[in-house]
Chains A and B, each alone.
Chain A
Amino acid sequence: MKEKALEGKKILWVEDDMFLSDLMAKKLTKYAPTLFHAKNGDEVFSVLEKEKPDLIVLDVLLPGLNGFEILKKVKSDDATKAIPVVLLSNLNQKSDIEKGAELGAKKFLVKALLTPDDILEEVGKVLGVL
């Protein structure tokens, strides 16, 4: 992906592990998206009240509402249901992947199997900049 390829794109990144968030933020700087970060469901919905992101990258195991529950709420609200959601988790059981697909996630990415570059490539594909 080219430098500043994501300029003008709004991405809401949902991750409760601050170290992983920092690593992704660092990686994303070069591509210059507008990045919103949320650590839990409450933060997700307060961002969504003010902003309309082009993409949500969503962890599954979170304190409070889990990623599936957040995804369900996002997809059942007319204001947000068109926003593409990519699940990014360390879960990869068949049942998890099927549940994500059923709830309307675009992709199910497994953290430990991908590098940040691999993940950004998937993000770029979903945003149509690749």
Chain B
Amino acid sequence: MNSDIPPRLAHEFGDAVVALAADQIGARRAREVLSRFYTEDDLQIDRKGRLTCNLPAPHEQHVGIIVRALIGQLEDSIGRKKLTQQLLRIFTDLEKLHPDGQGMASVVALLPNGYLEEERLRLLSKVDLARRVKDQTWELEKLNDELEFRVAQRTESLQKLLDEKVKTEKVLKAQSEELQKANTELRGLDQAKSDFISVVAHQLRTPLAALKWTLSLFNSGDVGEFSDEQKQYMKKMAETNDHMIKLVNDLLDANSVEAGQLSYYFGTVQVEEVIEDAVEELAAFAKTKEVALAYTKLPLQAVTADAERLHAALQNLIDNAIKYSRPGGTIAVTAEIAGLMLRVSVADQGIGIPDEQKSHVFERFFRARNAIKAENGGTGLGLFIVKKIIEDHGGTIRFVTRENSGTTFTVELPLKK
């Protein structure tokens, strides 16, 4: 009946009952009882009279029987009441050793018949509680194992993700390095392009200057007189040459604009003087195109500007107006104060700018399709540079246009404070 007593506990329980018996009925009598189950060698009484018995492995399953035999002797010898007390003591000791209730039910079963039922039930409920604690502990352990398994699984997938992330980062880093390299190369190429344009432009200017100077000498009579017809041709040559010089200069300026190194020498400027100069310089061109160029000079407040750059910008706007006017057209140049700004407008009645191309007007190398038909000489750099110059003065430039009706460019510059 006590086969549920596990080996380790059988020892403890058995030892406890043997010790009790030896104590209460004397080592010798206990030995007599036990000798039915043990050989003489297994049962020893030491010098102090204590009985030790080595419960050998083959006997362990019989612990219940052995114990019952001892209990019978004990009950006879010390009485039921005392035996009960002693068994309860063993119960308490075992309870301390095995809080999970192992073996305690066996002890309760050994209690002599007639032991108070209430007390028996109390002990059994204690056993039951201990078993439940044991079961719950086991459940908890199971849950814990499951949890640990899941954590391990998660950790593994996280590690996988982490590995992938590291891999991706490596790829990204390599790509970023490649991009950076390409960028550096591009910047180098851009610089090379800028240097090339600069060198070519300067080299082109030397022969163009030589031509300009020669024609100027011819024209001023320093190397003898020419016929009127010859002078006419030389004038054309000089104009063509100047146009070429302007192209080269525009190319250089556009290059400087891109490199952010357009040079300025700011001073106090009377814009009406600048406009007057530009209009005078372009009067002959307007006349050949049979265009009326109208400007009424009025005194205005000064602005802070680079006179030469501003002159170039306004001249470019008027030059464009003449270029893209039709014979008989009128160009009105006006300048006025508008609040804190000085406003200059150049209005023509020319070919206008096609609607669909309006947004490209200030782009480098842009030329409107109708402009290309009307005039071959442009580079598409003029307005790109003009816009940069005006903006570098803290000003704005805008235009209104209608194809075949005309265009008005309006520049606003901040007044000198």
Contacts and interface: CB of A to CB of B under 8 A. Distances in A.
Sorting the interface of chain A by its residue count into under 10, 10 to 19, 20 to 34 or 35 or more gives 20 to 34
A30 B256 contact: no
Contacts of B205: 90, 111-112
A61 B205 CA distance: 13
A42 interface: no
Top-3 shortest CB links A-B: A94-B263, A111-B209, A115-B216
B223 A26 contact: yes
B187 interface: no
Contact of B261 (A30, A61, A94): A94
Interface of A: 17, 19-20, 23-24, 26-27, 30, 61, 90-95, 97-98, 111-113, 115-117
Nearest to A91: B202
Contacts of B223: 26
B261 A93 contact: yes
B212 A112 contact: yes
B346 interface: no
B61 interface: no
Given A90-B202, A112-B205, A116-B216, A27 B263 contact: no
B217 interface: yes
B208 interface: yes
Consensus secondary structure, chain A interface:
helix
A117 to B, nearest CB: 6
A113 B252 CA distance: 13
A19 B198 CA distance: 23
27 contacts: A17-B210, A23-B214, A24-B213, A26-B217, A26-B222, A27-B222, A90-B202, A90-B206, A92-B252, A93-B198, A93-B256, A93-B261, A93-B263, A94-B256, A111-B206, A111-B209, A111-B213, A112-B205, A112-B206, A112-B208, A112-B209, A112-B248, A112-B249, A113-B249, A115-B213, A116-B217, A117-B216
A123 to B, nearest CB: 14
B212 A115 contact: yes
Interface string B197-221: 0100010011011101110110010
A100 B303 CA distance: 27
B250 to A, nearest CB: 13
A92 B198 CA distance: 10
Interface string B315-340: 00000000000000000000000000
A19 B261 CA distance: 32
Of the listed residues B202, B256, B261, the one surrounded by the most CB atoms of chain A closer than 10 A to its CB is B202
